[in-house]
Amino acid sequence: MFKSYLNQKDFLITNDWRAEKPEKNLENKYIIYGHCFTDDGILKNRYISKTEFDYIKRNHWKLSGLFVCIGLQDGIIDVLIDPLVQYPVFYVEQNGIFALSNKLSNLSKLYYDKYNIDYLFDSLIYEAPLRGMTPVKSVKMLQFDNLQIGSQFQNSRPGLTIHKTNILSRKDLDYSEALETLADNIKKRAKIISESFEYIECQLSGGLDCRIVAAAFKNYDNIFYYSFGLDSQDRLCFEDLADKFGLRKTSKIRFFGSGIRNAAYRIKMIDDLNGIKLHTYGGYMNYDEPIDIKGCKLSGYFGEYIGHKLPSAYISPEDGSIIKFPHIDALPERAYKVANEYSMPFWTYNLECGRYKTSKRAVNQLFYLNNRGPSHFGMHSAADNVHDSSFNILYDPVAITVSEQSPYSDLENKEGATCVDLICSIAGLDFGLFPYEGRRIPRYREFDWVPEINCFDGYSFSARKVEQIQREHSIAPDLSHWDALGDSDKTSTSAEILNNKLFDTFFRDFPELAYLRNLQFTWPYRQHQEILCNFLLADYFYSGAWSHT
């Protein structure tokens, strides 16, 4: 019989009698973790009614939001996960035992066996884990493919059902219909957010994802924009966009965390993000108390899972092999072998069996959803919503249909053709193209070359000196909340942590990684130092050697 433990932050469901937290299900209750958009509102991190639970269950396949929803009724447990399966949910399956939780630490306390070296290798190459791995070898993370038709994952057990999402049912829509549906959905979510909060903050640059968000909020007066940096191309584009379209700028960035200053802060970060993000973690809302419940932050990841962009290494569109960039040649060769053992069968299966529309773009998208996606969404939407509010209005299952039905080539799609179509559909041609005059945008421009959409060659910014921007527009995050996390003077660099004698045994087992202890390594090798450093701290935490207080 499955038992469950639920509170408003985490849950644990298991049939293991050794688990201390779970109790028998004695009452009917329903709860949502994360957030879910309904027809006219937002359900977020709270107990919900049976009517609300039934609404999610009935519309599960098409909902937007990152969430896991649990219903307990008459001793039966129903689990509903967002349709793209991007909210982090972890499980253990061994010797007849099955356990499920949204906190990796809940499972590591019971089932920690050993660190997962393959997880580290994949993170060094892809900057994200593959195949649902976690830092703990015995614990897996649910993937998109686990909850689709034909999956071998056992989603139903006596007393427990993890419902399949089966979102691949929009084959009735062609590209224009799917694009119009997606645009309408995004505008509806923008209206809900604008009516739910007094003010909204959004980062805006020269990129496409945030431009889609800005398009949806173009006619609302309670959204305020910002851009980091004072001399970057993104900042220059932001200033011109704001001037041309009258966009409001914020004078203070409220919903923003601070840098990770010492080992204890890093371990808090690892616990908050469940070990699925080992680098580029600064900026998530890593504090313990709400900043302001009257406002919210917007994030947007659309181009990533439409265009499939992977730094450091990527999958060849020809044969699915791993293509390395030069700066990671120093990494162990066995790391690439591990990655190939997963990526090659993934490509072969999805391209040849006809399970999905057999385009390279669609397979790349599926690869993203199954692997790197949760590390993006889990940081900026799941973790950010613990105390305050952060929403990705671009998350939508119909985006898969948009990508599959796109009439553009893989190259055109990768460079943003579909995103530009979406922006123009929401806010008009001018808002979609400015300031990219002189570029080949499929369907709207005809030139002989396809530059990267974020490349600013060919556009001359208005005569504005960097000094003027620094003088007139300098803003900074509000970090007054940061004192709650501890003494900021106690700093500890990655190099100092890596050289701690505590980890000598690890480097004896993996001498090919010892070079990362070298204090002289700079970018891009510094990123590998960060990943390895945080992996070792994750193992230190999840093994129980460090007690989180």
* pLDDT for residue 35: 93
Which residues, other chains included, contact 380 with Cβ-Cβ below 8 Å and sequence gap of 6+?
A: 284, 299, 301, 390, 392
In angstroms, the first-to-last Cα distance of the chain is 32
The per-residue pLDDT for 483 is 47
Domain with CATH 3.40.50 in the chain: 175-308+372-473
Mean pLDDT of the chain: 80
CA dihedral sign of residues 240, 244, 246, 247:
negative
Residues 9-29 pLDDT 10s: 899 999 997 777 666 555 789
pLDDT of residue 224: 93
Residue 537: both structure tokens together: 């701290």
Greatest mean pLDDT among 50-59, 169-178, 443-452 lies in: 50-59
Q: Distance (Å, rounded) from C-alpha 139 to C-alpha 89?
A: 10
Q: Give the pLDDT mean for 58-83.
A: 93
Q: What is the pLDDT of residues 399-428, one digit of tens each?
A: 888 888 888 776 677 667 788 889 989 998
Can you say how many angstroms the Cα of residue 243 is from the centroid of all Cα atoms in its chain? 31
**Who wins on pLDDT, 538 or 465?**
538
DSSP classification of residue 255: S
140-141 vs 29-37, strand pairing mode: unpaired
The tens digit of pLDDT for each residue in 510-546 reads 998 988 887 666 666 788 888 899 999 999 999 988 7
pLDDT at position 354 is: 53
pLDDT of 342 reads 79
Q: Report pLDDT digits (tens) over 318-354.
A: 666 666 666 667 777 777 777 777 777 776 666 665 5
Tell me the C-alpha distance between 239 and 232, whole Å. Answer: 11
pTM of this prediction? 0.88
**Exposed, middle or buried, 412 (CB in 10 Å: 0-12/13-18/19+)?**
buried
Q: What is the pLDDT of residue 314?
A: 59
Q: Confidence band (pLDDT; 50, 70, 90) for 462?
A: low
Q: Is the dihedral of CA 214, 218, 223, 224 positive or negative?
A: positive
Res 130: pLDDT? 85
CA dist 89 and 274 (Å) reads 10
- Cross-strand pairs, 14: 3, 99
CB 331 within 8 A of CB 125: yes
Average confidence (pLDDT) over 370-384:
78
Q: Are 98 and 90 in contact (CB under 8 A)?
A: no
Segment holding 93, helix H or strand E:
strand 90-94
User: Which is higher by pLDDT, 378 or 191?
Assistant: 191
Return the minimum-mean-pLDDT range out of 210-219, 234-243, 357-366. 357-366
State the DSSP string of 456-476: -TT----S--HHHHHHHH---
Residue given tokens 């108390």 in the structure block: 289
Q: Does domain 175-308+372-473 have CATH number 3.30.70?
A: no
Return the pLDDT at 450. Answer: 36
Structure-token pair, residue 161: 């059902």
Q: Coil, helix or strand for 44?
A: strand
How far is residue 459's CA from residue 111's CA, in Å, rounded to a whole number? Answer: 56
pLDDT of residue 308: 45
Q: How far is CA 432 from CA 21, 421, 492, in A?
A: 52, 8, 44
Q: What is the pLDDT of residue 219?
A: 92
Rounded to whole angstroms, the Cα distance separating 285 from 299 reads 12
Please report the pLDDT score of residue 388 as a whole number.
Answer: 83
What pLDDT band is residue 281 in, cutting at 50, 70 and 90? low
Cross-sheet strand order for the sheet of 97-101: 3-6, 11-14, 97-101, 90-94, 140-141
Q: pLDDT confidence of 261, banded at 50, 70, 90? A: low
pLDDT band for position 445 (cuts 50, 70, 90): very low
